[in-house]
Structure 1
Amino acid sequence: MTKYMPYILSLVLIGFVAKTNAIWCYQCVSTQPGCGTPFNWLFHWTKVCPEDDDVCVKILEEKDGETIITRDCLSSMQGLRTDIPADHYEGCRPAAVDVKLANYVNNTVKELDIYRNYYDNVTWCFCFLDHRCNSGITIQYSTSVLLLSALLAVYQLL
């Protein structure tokens, strides 16, 4: 029985491989080298987004002619930002306005952007179809490999 154990284990492992989808996004801020307007993908690694229905985002925040670009997964930004537009389809759209943000805050430190109104223009760009901003990896079981492994195991038993 120990002679056939590697074949049996390989059959069991092949049977457990399930279909999964993963989207890969860049994670950087334009203050880092290569993440600005001429984006250099050689400087930055991609990140696997944690959720199945995730999309890549690029946030453009403009103030007095200067632009800050932030790239990340949408699920990573949902806990940090309240100005995410409701429409997450491919394309760019202006940030949502949160009228309740910092309503009950009495803060005398004016350098803190508690109302999130420092930037003149905030634009969210969503991307999940373009291979230049992300790519998907699909792992799925192959019926032919499973059948070939089963035939090999049966052949070894005979």
Structure 2
Amino acid sequence: MIAKILWICVMFGVFYTQVSAMGGTLLCYRCNSNQPGCGTPFNWLWFWGEYCLEEGDSCIKLIERKGAEEVITRECLSNLRGFRTDIPADQYEGCRPAAKDVRLGHYVNNSIAQLDIHRDYYDEVTWCFCHFDNRCNSATAIKLSGIVLLISIIFNYFYKI
């Protein structure tokens, strides 16, 4: 009986140190649909996810469409804030269209159309936000919480006949 209690304490200690080592940061997929396996359907075996740098960050799935062309970007929100001006103000869970910046490229006198200084190449831009689950910016994912896994191991250990 003491061995069982000691085993539970060790497992709890290992689980607690793994959670505290993450520092509360979120684990997100970080890839672009130009890379193999990152488009539709998403192959999670190629991309295991990376930790976001900021505390309280969000996982983003950015979908940009022009006709039949579709570009999907999976990333942390903190990495896109520096150069994207079309991030929606409402950043709660779910998907919403991109914000319009009417001042973008207003004071630039440029005749090269390929530079897309007005960021109007894509007809439809959709931002999908998720905050609470690791690797939540995949297309579809089966998620298993670490606590549920730990409880099932303990339950299996105690009630194994």
TM-score relative to the length of structure 2: 0.69
Q: Shift in Å at residue 130 of structure 1?
A: 4.1
Gaps of 5+ in 1: 1-13, 138-158
Indicate whether 1:113 and 2:116 are aligned: yes
Bigger proportion of residues as strand: 1
Opposite residue 59 of structure 1, the aligned amino acid is: L
Partner SS for 1:41: coil
Q: Shift in Å at residue 20 of structure 1?
A: 2.6
RMSD: 2.3
Gaps of 5+ in 2: 1-16, 138-142, 147-161
CA distance in 2, matches of 1:32, 1:40: 11
Aligned with 1:21 (options 19, 24, 49) = 24
Aligned with 1:50 (options 47, 50, 53) = 53
CA distance in 1, matches of 2:53, 2:40: 26
Indicate whether 1:67 and 2:78 are aligned: no
Equivalenced residue count is: 122
CA distance in 2, matches of 1:132, 1:99: 33
TM-score relative to the length of structure 1: 0.71
CA contact (8 A) 2:27 2:135 kept: no
Opposite residue 78 of structure 1, the aligned amino acid is: R
Q: Pick closer, same or farther for the CA change 1:104–1:74 going to 2, 3 Å.
A: same
Query: 2:104 is matched with which residue?
Result: 101
Kindly indicate whether structure 1 or structure 2 has the higher relative contact order, using CA contacts under 8 Å at least 6 residues apart. 1
CA distance in 1, matches of 2:41, 2:21: 38
Query: 1:146 is matched with which residue?
Result: none
Q: Shift in Å at residue 129 of structure 1?
A: 2.7
Q: Pick closer, same or farther for the CA change 1:53–1:131 going to 2, 3 Å.
A: closer
CA distance in 1, matches of 2:92, 2:108: 34
Query: 1:89 is matched with which residue?
Result: 92
Which one is further off, 128-137 or 108-117?
A: 128-137
CA distance in 1, matches of 2:86, 2:134: 26
Q: State the Cα deviation string for residues 26-79 of structure 1 (Å, max 9, x = none).
A: 110001000001000111131110111100000000001211000000000000
Q: State the Cα deviation string for residues 82-107 of structure 1 (Å, max 9, x = none).
A: 00001111000000000110000000
